[in-house]
Amino acid sequence: MNISLKGKTALVCGASQGIGLAAARELALNGASCILLARNEGRLREAVESLSRQDGNSHEGKAVDFFDTDRLRLTVAEMANGRAVDILVNNSGGPKAGPVLDAVTEDFERAFRQHVVNNQLIVQALVPGMKKAGYGRIINIISTSVKTPLPNLGVSNTIRLAVAAWAKSLANEIAQYNITVNNVLPGLTETQRLSDLVAHIAGVSGKGEETVGKELKDSIPAKRFGRPEEIAALIAFLASPAAAYINGTSIPVDGGRTTAF
């Protein structure tokens, strides 16, 4: 099975920590040269250095705030000028927790721009190069809420499904060029996002965070939280030549927690 990414260039968004950083490490281990995008310059620099120490190859980072759409557009356009990016991992922090009824209009607009609009402008910059190269992998890190809406994540549930619909439309349009578009749906994974969710639930319910964490683990058939590295393993496979006929899918990595097929 050919899972080598040698000679490929990967752009990984939200790559200074959590699932994004784990994905960059796994892609690099399989031979890809990685460009990391993140907001925090200090963590981004540390992430790039850790990748270079890992495999001895040269990787790079570009600091950009995903709430600054104009700056993101310029950054990606400059990056795509004169070189092909073969692999794109769309990954960005989720909207804040809370019931959908409590959300204000700006919450939806901000999240839509952060996820759907930004994904669109990035692929518009990169797909021409993928077409020319005859190879492209677009992998969107979304959520299991695409399959089953999650409690206390009203805005996130709404926007994540919008991303999935956008991705399916794109997958149908560009598969003929050997460019695939797939969604990875992480379940409860040991990241800052999970820590924030546990804290929110504890604050609303009056329960301790340890109790909330145990209850969440008990809701998972595997009885544990996932690790970012486990999500990254699927990302690396979908990025590889071996996954050429997997397109337009949404794949949960959640220990069996999602109730939908």
Which residue is it, tokens 């899972």?
3
For the 9-187+227-253 domain, the top CATH level (class) is alpha beta
Structure tokens at 1: 């099975």
What is the edge-to-edge ordering of all strands in the sheet holding 136-141?
Answer: 60-63, 33-38, 9-13, 87-90, 136-141, 179-186, 250-253
Structure tokens at 230: 């486990």
Buried b (16+ CB within 10 A) or exposed e, 149-172: bbebbbbbbbbbbbbbebbbebbe
* Structure confidence at residue 109 (pLDDT): 97
* Structure confidence at residue 93 (pLDDT): 87
* Structure confidence at residue 129 (pLDDT): 96
Structure tokens at 174: 């560009």
Separation of alpha carbons 220 and 224, rounded Å? 7
Longest CA–CA separation in the chain, Å = 56
Per-residue pLDDT of the chain (261 residues; tens, 9 = 90+): 899 999 999 999 999 999 999 999 999 999 999 999 999 999 999 999 999 998 888 899 999 999 999 999 999 999 888 789 999 999 998 888 889 999 999 999 999 999 999 999 999 999 999 999 999 999 999 999 999 999 889 999 999 999 999 999 999 999 999 999 999 999 999 999 899 889 989 998 999 999 999 999 999 999 999 999 999 999 999 999 999 999 999 999 999 999 998
Contacts of 203 (CB under 8 A, 6+ apart): none
Q: Which of 55, 3, 62 is nearest to 237 (CA)?
A: 3
pTM, rounded to two decimals: 0.95
* Structure confidence at residue 195 (pLDDT): 93
Q: Which residue ranges make up each domain of the chain?
A: 9-187+227-253, 191-225
E strand spans, the chain: 9-13, 33-38, 60-63, 87-90, 136-141, 179-186, 250-253
Separation of alpha carbons 113 and 70, rounded Å? 11
Q: Which of 187, 84, 87, 73 is nearest to 124 (CA)?
A: 73
* Structure confidence at residue 200 (pLDDT): 84
* Structure confidence at residue 159 (pLDDT): 97
Amino acid present at 9: T
